[in-house]
Amino acid sequence: MTPKSYPAYSQGRTDEEVRQSQTATMRHTFKAEQWVPYPIEEVFSFFANPENLPRLMPAWQRARIERANFVPPPPSPSPLQANTTAAGAGTTMTISFRALPFLPLRLNWEALIVKFGWNDHFCDEQPKGPFAYWRHCHHVSEEIRAPRPGTLVPGTLVTDDLVYELPFGILAEPAHALFARRQIVAIFKYRQQQLLKLLA
């Protein structure tokens, strides 16, 4: 199957160019960080495998991958990831999920991987879905922390950088202030809790 093309999205643009494009729109940013005591190869491989995405979403959403067109990334420089399943740049997926608890209505979210670098980052965008714009970059970096004096623990710092815009432009700003921002904060808090459970 021939991968779709999305010329209106930021494929190939730098993160700085994406940030500069926010000034003429109603786009918002969100950033979350989490340190986990696991090797960077293990953490990155977990996020790069799209089968893990539904596991990071609340159970009531009943998220599932409906369709996928995978583009393999270049070989990993780490032999530990020789058999890792990963979605490289150009991969498209359609994910469906329940928008509200106790309601059968499902929303479709089309995701496009636009950037991929082993054990460093990957970025996805939403060409079709509930947001007017969505760009989520996952960054990982090795970091040693000292939970107790004299004790050093190697691990990985996970950073989520999000740029998003609600539909209807400025008309959606009251909704953003009232609940949309809080919902995004709650989603990433849940993801962080799940990540610790799933990596354990």
pLDDT of residue 5: 41
Instruction: Please write the tens of the pLDDT for every residue from 32-68.
Output: 999 999 999 999 999 999 999 999 999 999 999 999 9
pLDDT of residue 28 exceeding 70: yes
Q: What is the pTM of this model?
A: 0.83
pLDDT in tens, 179-194: 667 888 888 999 999 9
In the chain the domains, ranked by start, together with CATH numbers, are: 25-199 (3.30.530.20)
Write the pLDDT tens digit of every residue in 108-127: 999 999 999 999 999 999 99
Strand order in the sheet with 151-165: 28-36, 151-165, 133-148, 121-128, 106-117, 92-98, 64-69
Residues 68 and 121: their CA atoms lie apart, in Å, by: 21
